[in-house]
Structure 1
């Protein structure tokens, strides 16, 4: 009887535990992105599933029992545009879609199930499905790579039977094995993935119009941090295969883009060759990263944008075509590149720009070389190429000679270059040309900063202003020079004359106030006070008749008497005299305050 009771007790406890375990629902969380909506929930690794499209959406049927899904928070963070409704029925997750949206289901390394509802792809929607013939034909043997290092799981598919189809145009010369019926490529048994041979895919011919399509992809890739791309690589690889072991084109494209953001051109090109998307510009960027020359028809037009211009540099471009590039936009893009990308490409960019005689575009770009706590400029060129410094000075001198405003970007590059220029004649020459460039460009604040920091004297700057900004154009520069001109500096008269010439009399008075155009001589014209009190001439004050004495006169008389007489002998007598004088002084001070 006791054993039977114990048995029933264990059954009761087990049923309670099972009910409690089933009551713990797994929350399905969501996230909204630019081109897709994402659902994620935790699960065990090794989950298998099948997918199919329905009249109003998409169904995912899992092979094993799945945990109870809590769908209450699905629409907390995403709108109901791509995904309209979601319902979990047994082992099936039913998605009601508001568009002809592709759905990608994957499981990442942590075990989480990831469901991406993507924007409709017109190219995919208009492409008819691959027809699978009923009979499999013969197989034409061809040489494959010994090992697929990117997709090892596909290695077992090499000997799979292939369907019969028309002969491929890949083989153009007579061949004994061409008589064997069959395809020139292998196809996945399910017909969704084509495993192409190791031959170069025929690419569409590019022109200057079509090459502009790669500008956005090139710009986005160049500024993408390779460290972030490396952290995304594992996830991109894990999402390649769906629950039906079908290689998904979208997942392959994401992996190819990840390789491209890493700067791994060969890997990106080989991966892209397995996906069904436009890879023309993609392969050109991959070739640019690896330094592989491109055909003439694949040459990128640098006039399409900054990203296209950088790709054109890396693949080789002549000076005539480079003239179409917007160099200011190119510099901005290069300045946005992360440090690791800059370290990888800067030397090649410098070589190509030097060949085009435009190496000055890289001046001041890249991460700072001195990253220590001591920010004071070192008294050397700090690794700066002296040829680049002379080129920058020469460029400024040419524009200053013709009197035209130089390019603002070049001025900023020269200002950034100056701290690494060693002190001496070269730096003095750079400062002189830079001062003229700032005046021609109308940068009064930057010009005044050069004077205040001692890079150039106020008199030198005034000469530059008189040369390039006479009249009203020089007023903003001249008024900023006043604090830096000594009171006896003859340059003050020149500045005053320039302001008077444009009718600014009040401003001119700040530089010189004498009407005879002559500055005062400090040594020959000392201040001569007219009031004896201010000059502390107390005997002159007390010389006045007693009936004309004022509070000042009485204070002067008390001071003179105190100075003429000492204190009496003895401590008590001396203390009494000090107190008496103190009371008298206090009374006289009160009279001074009252104006008596």
Structure 2
């Protein structure tokens, strides 16, 4: 097949000429879904990946060619409820969790997909193993298809005796060649990704041709065939061998697809046959000119003899309506004059989706089971799936083909909705491909402008997204409400202020759309925008209005957490104290990690340690949570509980708190050890002084300080330690020019001695206070 040979030859030349790939940047993207957060990252070229447990979450390690990871766009579309932080490592990233959740990873369409799902991991989950400190090896995967195994003889037993001088052979040369190995790896990868097809059956004719062209001495025994048998269930096909047959590579071109009259049936996820493309060929159901005349003609011919509707003509008129984008009219026609045809349910399903709700109905569509089909039905299944993230594997190429085959006006009509479904999956590449297929128009419709803004936002450009959405919102008309919502989301994602007039418009448009999915979205953004301006009472009033409706209860609860987080970060002390004790959503560590920590810090600073403890998880596992919990427990005089919370954490802040807890328990010696091992020498000296551990206090001290310690040790008993070794300390020297006389010399001499001793003691205390000043607080 010339087309296939040209495709394979082109692939081979491109691979050979590519050379070593330079390091490239892999962009991590994200998306929020019901019950999980999704992260995607392109598979590194010529490399692999592994996911496993690390400190506070999971580590994703990349192998192969050096590739850097760009995480700048991760938090543009998600909050920090599940994913608290992304930390760069030498060989990948660490995903710090902010919830009781677990990770599941898989590879799809050249992307590494990591889902952070609510709840604990299932028993025996494969990604719960801890990663080692060294660079990880890629996971053990099934080897890709190796076309060389059919033409390279396997090595037999090593012959004994003298080695014969190799003679030139006229047969094929199967020696190792780096270019061929590179081609084999590339073809194996392409086969695994479905870009090309491995025709195992064709290999059955290779052995005979090789034996004809190879001298008998160069061939292995007949018991060791050059070509392995076809796998069970596959039938070998004998075909003529041409120059590229030994590659066992097949290709399907656009011409081949056009010649396929059956229209790619395949089977869906339930094992039933997928509908043929002919049932979804909307481009063929009408023309772009004189639509009114076409409708009039088909309506005129609608009724047949005895004024009975002709089923075929009813279907033809419904198809014309669908071609024109009149979903409601097609549905009314089919329900009023229902034809007894297998095509009728398909047309009704298309009609419902052309004018369907957004987001899709929870009941789904007529095509839900066909999301994995490789025909045109896949596009309609994606458009109507109520939860696309759980719908199964999507044939994205089939979706793109079906969308490109639609009439231009229908691509403009349903394209933004379809692309948004993939944006919700963090699949920006597919969304961009669908956007490119929308024909340009003189004026950009608001829905297309909103899609453009969403694409800019997904690519980490909130400023550009804000400009596009603002122009669409100012235009008014259909789609302006969605544009206004996107404008506010873009400015919030970019940390940009929201002008007061935009907030006013948001309040008005939210009232107009009350009771709809868009209305709920606008109401949530209204509350967040008011909070950004410091109007927290008004923002919580919007929350209360939403909470009064049972249907929007979950949204109100999520909005409470959002507003409390903003209050903790930006609210004044008065606003925080006035609101936080009246709310319950912040207790038991339910806020996102960054928000709950900031709230705990502010409560500690305000003198409410018990409330700060309530803002944190009851069993904090993250280091930052444990540190704040330890501070709060020490403040409420619970050092024993503080030690239990800090167990397992070894950073400097945790060690400092651990030492303070030991001091509060009276364990001065243990506190000195903890402080010293952590390199906190001032704290270690303080603990030694408090415990009367003079030997510890004298270590690493200067001469003046050691002299002070010697005088203090001579005058005070040692508490909790053996006596000070006098040889380690300088002697006590009397003040110059003063020689104390015996007590019997008189009371005046004793009084003079007391005055001198008092002056010396005051000087020693002053020197100690100068060397160890009291804490500023």
Normalised TM-score (structure 2): 0.26
Normalised TM-score (structure 1): 0.32
Larger Rg: 1
Structure number with higher helix proportion:
2
